[in-house]
Amino acid sequence: MDKVKEFLVGVLRFLGLVVLVDLGLFVIVSVSCLIGTRCTNIQWSERMFWAGILALVAAMPAVLAMLNTSRGYFDNPLTAGMDLQVAETIIKDGRKGLDKRTAFALKAGAVGAGAIAISALIDILTR
């Protein structure tokens, strides 16, 4: 039961962060439309769309970094014995780095998708 609770808390924390960042993007885009140039509804929707695209582009380095996660620790026969003694530490360190990249890519991707969904909502609701 504790694992389920911990998982649900993690999911809710993830969704809360994504919603807060999307809300922040929405506020920034809305303020830029009010203060700067007076935006039409279409321009407002397009600016929100491009904010979402920028969030997706921000996720791209993490996605590319996940493509090459192999480490060549055991390729040198002179150090293979020593590397084998600390293999668990090496694997945990590599896994921790991969987990961080994955979390960042998922958060930035979800923020981008949410901003694009808000853009679509703006477009649909302001017709």
Q: What is the pLDDT of residue 88?
A: 78
Answer yes or no: are the C-beta atoms of 122 and 41 closer than 8 Å.
yes
Nearest to 46 by CA among 17, 59, 37, 62: 37
**What would the mean pLDDT of 84-92 be, rounded to a whole number?**
76
> Quick check: 72 pLDDT over 70?
no
Average pLDDT, the chain: 85
> For 26-63, what is each residue's pLDDT tens digit?
999 999 888 877 888 899 999 999 999 999 998 888 77
For the entire predicted model, the pTM comes to: 0.79
Cα–Cα distances in angstroms (integers) from residue 118 to residues 6, 49, 85, 123, in the given order: 29, 8, 52, 9
> For 93-111, what is each residue's pLDDT tens digit?
778 878 888 888 899 999 9
40 vs 85, higher pLDDT: 40
Distance CA 10, CA 6 (A): 6
Distance CA 99, CA 105 (A): 10
